[in-house]
Amino acid sequence: MNSRFLQIAFLVLGTLVGNARCQTLPLMQGDTLSGKPIVLPDAAHGKIALLAMGFSKKGGDKASERGEALQAGL
């Protein structure tokens, strides 16, 4: 299942990147899960990045699960 999820995630990510070449993320400031301050998109400049956000407790839990699955597959 993790392999299938990664295949789908990269397919979706590739599609989004291809369509978003001329778009810019708005400036976002916050803290990482490890408590370090971060400013996006500056912190991701020149890197491949995946941004997952949850807008509720349940959504945040799901985003964390997906992030952990992606990290385990890398």
- Give me the domain span that covers residue 49: 2-73
User: How many domains is the chain partitioned into structurally?
Assistant: 1
Exposed (0-12), middle (13-18) or buried (19+): which is 41, by Cβ within 10 Å?
Answer: middle
Q: What is the pLDDT of residue 37?
A: 92
- 10-53 confidence digits (pLDDT tens): 666 666 665 555 567 788 888 887 888 989 888 888 888 777 77
> 44: burial class by Cβ within 10 Å (0-12, 13-18, 19+)?
middle
